[in-house]
């Protein structure tokens, strides 16, 4: 019997699909078949790849929790997910470049497995589940590959420009019998992942829809006195219960008050554990993941639902930068130019509000923008939240300019790219102290205002967009203006009051009499 998450047919369409119930998005396995065809088309154009070559990928394995007999919740390696859509550990996959023929190799599990872990799938079931051409066991991989007689096996090895880590090429007993190349595949398959297909974009759109709704739930339910992790729990519950998103795309960032100035808050040493105070600005950066595809959304708002003057000024400065990039981004535009555009607008706004002084061009040359926004404007997003392809051969290299050198890509925009637009403004003591002690930078800072805003935290506004032929489409649907945010948060208070009255009608009558 097939897993409930995969069906051979669906009233939403024919063919095998991934879905987490009829209320969630049905993702056709054709999505991954299209990916394989795109990869083969690209490899066939590479004169260094022989016609009879075969791609060999190794999927992820379960990771033990240290030396215990438990394991971390499994998530598939992204390149393997992109190629086959397999959510199970221990698999290998082969794609014949000339024909596009797809073969999965599944682990041969003992009968005892079924007692503790459930149904043992047959090769026929896996073939139907993932809509591939053939399925064998892993211990048959040498025999099957030998029968194909490839002159070259293409395995995957390359350095991820975000993490600095290297993909581990496929390894199995007997691979030494074949001619293997582990460098040709990485740039080709990574370039395929940079441009998303319409089906991939629909999955990312769905992850954005669910994550946007989850952020709105937090806006409605947050109250001073709650803890940051309780807001994280609201997000996680909604994404999974309503949207079928078992995973999040990254560790949730729920910074309140000064924690909003910690760019990657939420890790084990800063675990979303602070009590949220009245007057705190909150910066919540969270995104659900569906069928392996990510979302990445940041919302910033005051915990009590009402912006102070300072909060309004900083928020609107960041929103203006976000809006400017949203309007200017289109095919042929350099992403580094978009970063500089956002920086310029932010500095102009901070100067107009009396936080900075002087000429903005000179501020940019002095690296003032990197003091208030030390990260890049945004990044590719797909199966990885910081998706691959940022600095592939043949594309612009990482810039040297302060702040701009933090960009995760410097590429020219093309239709089908999915990126985040996430300008921010933070008051980080380390950077402020460093700037105030630097004569070339301190002359632009109004010290009294800077000192007054210490402890403010930060504001980040992050949307996920897809590049089209004429511009970008924003996949993120959350309140963005000050008015929209305040109204949304007020509606949550109203809903809570109404629910309380309906639950306790006698108390309401007594209150009226009193």
Q: Which residues are catalytic?
A: 69, 264, 285, 296, 375, 379, 386, 422, 426, 460, 462
Which helix or strand (DSSP H or E) is residue 299 part of? Answer: strand 297-302
In whole angstroms, give the CA distance from residue 482 to residue 319.
Answer: 10
CA 240 to chain centre: 16
Q: What angle do CA 226, 231, 236 make, to 5 degrees?
A: 150
Q: Where are the alpha helices (DSSP H) in 171-227?
A: 185-194, 198-221
Least Cα distance to 14 among 3, 2, 30 occurs for 30
Secondary structure of 466-509 as H, E, C letters: EECCCCEEECCCCCCCHHHHHHHHHHHHHHHHHHHHHHCHHHHH
DSSP 8-state assignment for residue 133: S
In whole angstroms, give the CA distance from residue 155 to residue 51.
Answer: 16
CA dihedral over 491, 496, 502, 508, signed as positive or negative: negative
In whole angstroms, give the CA distance from residue 465 to residue 418.
Answer: 6
- Please, what's the largest Cα pairwise distance for the chain? 89
Secondary structure of 216-247 as H, E, C letters: HHHHHHCCCCCEHHHHHHHHHHHHHHCCCCCE
Least Cα distance to 43 among 156, 154, 208 occurs for 154
In whole angstroms, give the CA distance from residue 36 to residue 336.
Answer: 31
Secondary structure of 48-94 as H, E, C letters: CCCCCCEEEEECCCCCECCCCCCECCCCCCHHHHHHHCCCCCCCEEE
Neighbours of 159 (CB within 10 A): 12
CA distances from 294 to 213, 477, 503 (A): 15, 15, 39
In whole angstroms, give the CA distance from residue 154 to residue 346.
Answer: 47
In whole angstroms, give the CA distance from residue 507 to residue 494.
Answer: 17
Residue 196 in contact with residue 204, Cβ under 8 Å?
Answer: yes
């Amino acid at each position: 019997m097939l897993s409930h998450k995969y069906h051979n047919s669906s009233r939403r369409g024919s063919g095998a699909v991934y879905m987490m119930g009829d209320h969630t998005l049905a993702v056709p396995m054709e999505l991954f078949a299209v990916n394989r065809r795109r990869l083969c088309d690209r490899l066939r154009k590479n004169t260094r790849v022989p016609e009879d070559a075969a791609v060999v990928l190794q999927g992820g394995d379960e990771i033990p929790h240290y030396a215990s007999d438990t394991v971390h919740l499994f998530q598939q390696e992204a390149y393997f997910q992109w190629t086959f859509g397999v959510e199970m550990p221990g698999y290998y996959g082969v794609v014949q470049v000339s024909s596009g023929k797809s073969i999965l190799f599944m682990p041969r599990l003992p009968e005892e497995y079924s007692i503790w872990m459930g149904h043992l799938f047959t090769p026929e079931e896996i073939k139907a589940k993932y809509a591939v051409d053939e399925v064998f066991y892993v211990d048959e991989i040498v025999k099957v590959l030998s029968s194909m007689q490839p002159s070259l096996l293409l395995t995957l090895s390359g350095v991820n420009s975000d993490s600095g880590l290297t993909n581990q090429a496929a390894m199995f007993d007997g691979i030494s019998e074949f001619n293997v190349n582990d460098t040709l595949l990485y740039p080709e398959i990574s370039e395929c992942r940079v441009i998303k297909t319409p089906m991939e974009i629909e999955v990312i759109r769905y992850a954005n829809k669910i994550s946007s709704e989850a952020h709105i739930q937090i806006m409605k339910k947050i109250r001073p006195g709650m803890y940051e992790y309780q807001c994280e729990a609201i997000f996680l519950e909604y994404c999974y219960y309503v949207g079928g998103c078992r995973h999040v795309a990254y560790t949730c960032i729920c910074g309140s008050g000064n924690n909003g100035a910690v760019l990657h808050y939420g890790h084990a040493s800063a675990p979303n554990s602070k009590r949220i105070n009245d007057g705190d600005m909150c910066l919540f950066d969270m995104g659900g993941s569906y069928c392996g595809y990510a979302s990445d959304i940041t919302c910033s708002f005051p915990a009590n639902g009402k912006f102070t003057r300072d909060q309004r000024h900083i928020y609107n400065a960041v929103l203006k930068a976000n809006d400017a990039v949203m309007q200017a981004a289109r095919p042929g535009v350099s992403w580094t130019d978009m970063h500089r555009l956002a920086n310029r607008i932010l500095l102009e706004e901070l100067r107009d509000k009396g936080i900075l002084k002087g000429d903005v061009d000179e501020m940019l040359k002095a690296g003032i923008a990197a003091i208030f926004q030390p990260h890049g404007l945004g990044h590719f997003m797909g199966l990885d939240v910081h998706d691959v392809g940022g600095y592939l051969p043949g594309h612009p290299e990482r810039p040297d300019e302060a702040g701009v050198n933090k960009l995760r890509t410097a590429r020219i925009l093309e239709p089908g790219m999915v990126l985040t637009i996430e300008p921010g403004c933070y008051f980080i003591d380390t950077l402020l102290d460093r700037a105030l002690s630097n004569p070339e930078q301190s002359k632009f800072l109004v010290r009294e205002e800077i000192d007054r805003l210490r402890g403010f935290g930060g504001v980040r506004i992050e949307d996920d967009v897809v590049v089209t032929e004429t511009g970008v489409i924003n996949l993120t649907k959350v309140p963005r203006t000050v008015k929209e945010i305040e109204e949304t948060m007020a509606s949550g208070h109203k809903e809570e009051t109404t629910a309380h009255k309906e639950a306790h009608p006698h108390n309401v009558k007594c209150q009226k009499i009193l």
